[in-house]
Amino acid sequence: MNTAMKGLMPCIALFVLIICNPAATVAESILNSRHNLSSGSSLGNIKSSDTSSVCIFCHSTHIEFARTPAWNRSEGAPIYTIYSSSTLQSSPGQPDGASKLCLSCHDGTIALGKVLSRGNEFSMLNTVMGKIPPDRSSNLGRDLSDDHPISFDDAYAVAASGQLKHPIDGDKVSYDGSGKIQCTTCHNPHDGRFDKFMVKSNLGAAICKTCHELNGFNGLSVHDTSAAVWNGQGSNPWAHTRYTTVAANGCMNCHDSHNAVGKERLLNDSEEAVCLNCHNGGTGKNISALLNRTGSHRVTFYQGTHDPTENIMTMSKHVECVDCHSPHQVNNTVAEAPDVNGSLKGVSGLSINGTPIAVAQFQYEVCLKCHSRDIYRISTFMTRQYDTSNIRTAIDPSNASYHPIAAQGKNSRVSSLRPPYTTSSRIYCGDCHNSDTSVKAGGSGPNGPHGSNYEHLLERRYETDDYTGYSSAKYALCFKCHNPAAVMNGSGFKEHDKHVRGADSPCSACHDPHGTADNIALINFDTTIVFPNQSGILKFEVVGNKGYCYLNCHGKDHRPENYHRN
Q: What pLDDT tens digit does each residue of the chain (566 aa) get?
A: 433 333 333 334 443 443 344 444 544 678 889 999 999 777 889 999 989 999 999 998 776 655 678 899 999 999 999 999 999 999 999 999 999 999 999 999 999 999 999 889 999 999 999 999 999 999 999 999 999 999 999 898 899 889 999 999 999 999 999 999 999 999 999 999 999 999 999 999 999 999 999 999 999 999 999 999 999 988 899 998 999 999 999 999 999 999 999 999 999 998 899 999 999 999 989 999 999 999 999 999 998 889 999 999 998 889 999 999 999 999 999 999 999 999 999 999 999 999 999 999 999 999 999 998 766 545 556 899 999 999 999 999 999 999 999 999 999 889 899 999 999 999 999 999 999 999 999 999 999 999 999 999 999 999 999 999 999 999 999 999 999 999 998 777 889 999 999 999 999 999 999 999 999 999 999 999 999 999 999 999 999 889 999 999 999 999 999 988 76
353 within a domain of the structure (yes/no): yes
In a domain, 222, yes or no: no
Nearest to 301 by CA among 271, 346, 257, 333: 271
Do 406 and 525 fall into the same domain? yes
**Looking at the domain assignment, is residue 324 inside a domain?**
yes
How many Cα neighbours within 13 Å face the side chain of 154? 24
Q: Nearest to residue 140, comparing CAs of 196, 97, 92?
A: 196
Contacts by residues 263-271 (CB-CB < 8 Å, ≥ 24 positions apart): 263/83, 263/85, 263/145, 263/146, 264/84, 264/85, 264/86, 264/87, 265/85, 265/87, 265/308, 266/83, 266/146, 266/147, 266/148, 268/240, 270/303, 271/299, 271/302, 271/303, 271/304, 271/306, 271/320, 271/321
Distance CA 159, CA 89 (A): 10
Please give the C-alpha separations between residue 321 and each of 36, 367, 456, in angstroms, as whole numbers.
44, 13, 18
pLDDT at 492: 75
Q: How far apart are CA 15 and CA 145, in angstroms?
A: 38
Same domain, 305 and 187: no
Give the number of C-alpha atoms closer than 13 A to the C-alpha of residue 507, restricted to the C-beta side. Answer: 20
- In Å, what is the CA distance from 159 to each residue of 57, 162, 164, 173? 40, 6, 8, 19
pLDDT for position 65:
58
pTM of the predicted model as reported, rounded to 2 decimal places: 0.90
Q: Are 517 and 375 contained in the same domain?
A: yes
Range of the domain at 187: 1-82+94-155+180-199
In a domain, 167, yes or no: no
For 381-406, the DSSP string reads SS-BSS----HHHHT-TTSSEE-TTS
Q: What is the pLDDT of residue 320?
A: 94
Q: Which of 167, 225, 242, 223 is nearest to 199 (CA)?
A: 167
Q: What is the pLDDT of residue 179?
A: 95
Same domain for 290 and 428, yes or no, is yes
CB 426 within 8 A of CB 337: yes
Establish if 101 belongs to a structural domain. Answer: yes
Contact 92, 150 (CB under 8 A): yes
- Give the closest residue to 492 by CA, choosing from 420, 548, 404, 412: 412
Residue 1's pLDDT is what?
A: 41
Beta bridge partners of 482: 417
Cis peptide leading into 134, omega within 30 of 0? Answer: no
Identify whether residues 134 and 36 lie together within a single domain.
Answer: yes
User: Which of 130, 165, 199 marks a domain boundary?
Assistant: 199
- Are residues 195 and 312 located together in one domain of the fold? no
* Same-domain status, 355 and 493: yes
In a domain, 160, yes or no: no
Residue 380 is predicted with a pLDDT of 58
Instruction: State the Cα–Cα distance between residues 245 and 187, nearest whole angstrom.
Output: 23
Question: What was the pLDDT predicted at 491?
Answer: 74
Q: CB under 8 Å to 344, separation ≥6 — which residues?
A: 324, 325, 360, 363, 366
Query: 387 and 502: one domain?
Result: yes
Residue type, 327: P
Assess if residue 233 is contained within a domain: no
Query: Does 292 lie in the same domain as 189?
Result: no
E strands present in 285-336: 295-296
Domain count, the chain: 2
* Cα–Cα distance measured from residue 200 to residue 202, given in angstroms and rounded to the nearest whole number: 6
195 and 297, same domain (yes or no): no
Quote the distance between the C-alpha of residue 46 and its chain's center. 37
The pLDDT of residue 305 is 86
Q: Is residue 556 part of a domain?
A: no
CB 482 within 8 A of CB 512: no
The answer to whether 52 and 11 are in contact (CB under 8 A) is no
Do 187 and 299 belong to one domain? no
**Do 315 and 191 have their domain in common?**
no
